Chains A and B, each alone.
Chain A
Amino acid sequence: MKKQARKTRQPNHRMRWRFVLGFWMVCACLLLARAVDLQVVQHDFLAHQGDIRNLRVEPLAAHRGVIRDRAGRPLAVSTPVVTLWANPREALEHPEQWSRLAGNSVVTQKDFARKVRRHESREFVYLERGLAPEAAKQVLDLNIPGIHSLTEYRRYYPAGEVSSHVVGFTNIDDEGQEGTELAMDDHLSGHSGRKKVVRDLLGRVIQDIEVLEPAEPGEDITLSIDLRLQYLAYRELLGAVQKHKARGGSAVVVDVRTGEVLAMVNQPAYNPNNRGNLDTAALRNRAVTDLFEPGSTMKPFTVAAALEMGMVTPSTTINTHPGTLRVGSKTIRDHRDYGVIDITTVLTKSSNVGTSKLALAMDQQALPDYLERFGFGRATGISFPGESDGLLPLRSQWRDVERAALSYGYGLSVSAVQLAQAYAVLANDGVKVPLTLKKVDGIPQGEQVLGKTTARQLVQMLETVVSRVGTARRAQVPGYQVAGKTGTVHKVVAGGYADDNYIGLFAGLAPATDPRIVTVVVIDDPRGEDYYGGLVAAPAFSNIMSGVLRTLHVPPDKPEGLLAGGPDPEDRS
């Protein structure tokens, strides 16, 4: 046995060696073949399958720009909210899991079943839009197949109805619908981007592969509005509108030097955060969109034209006796017979006969040309949606009646901002600076449309309107010299002028010695006892102006007024 073993050992050894070697070589070949198969032949397919399991395209959120007031106080802010959506096909594969929604207050089981069943064949249906992140988490944590989330943004308006018309609002898809949100939609709205990422088994992002499309967040916009003044104007306008039972109203406050609109408010207003039962009439930014005949507030410009053409000086006298003037078939009336008065008194007493005589003494096209220079008949360009151009008729032949009517503000239509712009020209030594709703750095280049001396003379003449003998004593502001003009116009209704529907106006500036602020107040259709501009609009003007001047630290130019008294700013009901 020993011998036999020794005999066979040698050849056996070699055979075994060869066998093992051969076996391993075959194995190696198989491995190599498999490696080639995986790495070369099937590489694309496998890599693709791997990517499908790990690579995800994620949206890069881009939020809408913030709208701020001039001091940086936010007026419109986007906050992330979560929208829940369902894929009905996915959801219908696991109906047994739906019961986990039982007792959930965000998405009820019943609601979910109804939505999913109704849209069986679809792959996308909204469950709930604009949820607070915590509320959405309650649902997402249940891990029900077919329920997904996406991040959207919702707009909040911290100032609410105080800034409603100026700021406007967006719809649920974050698109601007009204106001600045609409006008500046291109700047405000961002473009959401996409990026490719690798996720691990637990769904964590472990690698950013590439940004397919960079997110472009919207630009922030700083308005010229000062929220403090906006609130002040809102409060005073609301008070005036309620007191006089008016249908509506507007107030515009403008910085004379820069043309910035510091406040722009309207009644009725709305709450942009809660637009459930919204009256569409409340949506209009009346200060910009609504036109009215400016009435007596137009007289300073008639006088300005006469002064500029050298026809008269402030002390030139004019005979308004007997208080009526017949032009063509129409009789122009004053409140009473003022007799022989100087040009200043024409404004102080608001004599229709006086301005008509001035207008009739001018060349046919002179007055319309001057009015156009002040910006009437043309949009101010404050880039607000729906701004009206106003109406300044262009005629080759002006009848006497038409020219006379123009001189005291009938036969043309203006908006409150246009009126404010025109008074800003008077206040700014005759330089017309374009109005703007956006904050301006430095003083913009203006256009001299009226002589400096003429503008100064007019401001002095308008000071008399708010004096004891003028039509707007109630517009006085204690401590400051105010200049301005009242207006009371019959509203235009179908078929002519209404008998007892009026618009009460006051346009003014302060401090008169070095004008800084122009304020225009429009009270539409006051149905109380008073309707004269001097009674309904002038007190609101006075309250707004005194608050604005105090808030902006404008030094009083009539310090003796501090002791002499005057209308008490507290005294309003």
Chain B
Amino acid sequence: MTAPWVIRFLVVAVAVSALAVSYSVHEARRLTDESQKLQQQQTRLESQWSQLLLEHSTWGSYARVERLAREELGMKLPKTDERVLIRP
């Protein structure tokens, strides 16, 4: 039973590559699943973003900011004689 070293080497190589194939298939599936999850997360975040955007635009609408500035903070537009123009 003294096979040439080439044969022995190939036998080992086949075994190793067989293991590698199953490992890489497993890894590919795991990564695919992960990318799916990330895509779902993206969708979720997108919808969250658009909801926050809507909220943001409600709270930060110019009409509301102006009302708060005038009524609660007592701000007003400076009158003409209160402005000073600075020329560079």
Contact = CB atoms under 8 A, between A and B. Distances in A.
Interface of A: 61, 63, 74, 77-81, 132-133, 151, 156, 158-160, 162, 200, 204-208, 227-228, 231-232, 235, 478-479, 555-556, 559, 561-566, 568-570
Interface string B67-88: 0000000001101110111010
Interface residues of B, number: 29
A158 B52 CA distance: 10
Given A79-B46, A207-B32, A569-B77, A556 B53 contact: no
Contacts of B43: 61, 80, 133, 151
A375 B64 CA distance: 39
Given A228-B62, A555-B87, A562-B83, 5 more contacts: A79-B46, A159-B57, A204-B33, A205-B36, A479-B83
A563 B43 CA distance: 57
Given A231-B62, A479-B80, A77 B32 contact: no
B50 A78 contact: yes
Nearest to A556: B85
B24 interface: no
Which label, helix, strand, loop or mixed, suits the secondary structure of the A interface?
A: mixed
A34 B45 CA distance: 52
B81 A133 contact: no
B57 A562 contact: no
Nearest to A133: B47
A204 B36 contact: yes
B10 interface: no
Given A478-B80, A565-B81, A77 B50 contact: yes
A565 B80 contact: yes
A351 to B, nearest CB: 32
Given A156-B53, A478-B80, A568-B80, A231 B63 contact: yes
Contacts of B80: 478-479, 561-566, 568
A160 B54 CA distance: 10
B1 to A, nearest CB: 23
A67 to B, nearest CB: 13
Contact of A74 (B53, B66, B76): B53
Nearest to B65: A231
B63 A235 contact: yes
B53 to A, nearest CB: 6
B4 to A, nearest CB: 29
9 contacts: A74-B53, A156-B50, A159-B61, A206-B32, A207-B29, A479-B80, A479-B83, A562-B84, A562-B85
Given A205-B32, A206-B32, A562-B83, A570 B62 contact: no
A204 B34 CA distance: 10
Nearest to A61: B43
A568 B61 CA distance: 25
A559 B53 contact: no
A235 to B, nearest CB: 7
Given A151-B43, A158-B57, A228-B62, A79 B51 contact: yes
A566 B36 CA distance: 65
B54 A158 contact: yes
Contacts of B13: none
A559 B84 CA distance: 9
Interface of B: 28-29, 32-33, 36, 43-44, 46-47, 49-51, 53-54, 56-57, 61-63, 66, 76-77, 79-81, 83-85, 87
Contact of A80 (B47, B53, B57, B61): B47
A231 B65 CA distance: 12
A141 to B, nearest CB: 15
A473 to B, nearest CB: 15
A133 B44 contact: yes
Contacts of A227: 62
Most buried by B among A158, A159, A160, A561: A158
Contacts of A208: 32
B33 to A, nearest CB: 5
Contacts of A563: 80-81
A248 to B, nearest CB: 20
Contacts of B51: 79
B29 A206 contact: yes
B69 to A, nearest CB: 13
A569 B53 CA distance: 32
B79 A568 contact: yes
- Name the 9 nearest CB pairs between A and B, nearest first: A79-B50, A158-B57, A206-B29, A231-B62, A478-B80, A205-B36, A80-B47, A77-B50, A79-B47
A208 B53 CA distance: 33
A42 B83 CA distance: 91
A6 to B, nearest CB: 35
Contacts of B79: 568, 570
A205 B62 CA distance: 46
A227 B62 CA distance: 9
B68 to A, nearest CB: 15
Contacts of A569: 77
B28 A207 contact: yes
Contacts of A207: 28-29, 32
Contacts of B62: 162, 227-228, 231-232, 235
Contacts of B54: 156, 158
A133 B77 CA distance: 44
B50 to A, nearest CB: 3
Contacts of B83: 479, 562
Most buried by B among A79, A478, A562, A566: A79
Nearest to A78: B50
Contacts of A231: 61-63
B84 to A, nearest CB: 7
Nearest to A132: B47
Contact of B53 (A77, A160, A479, A562): A77
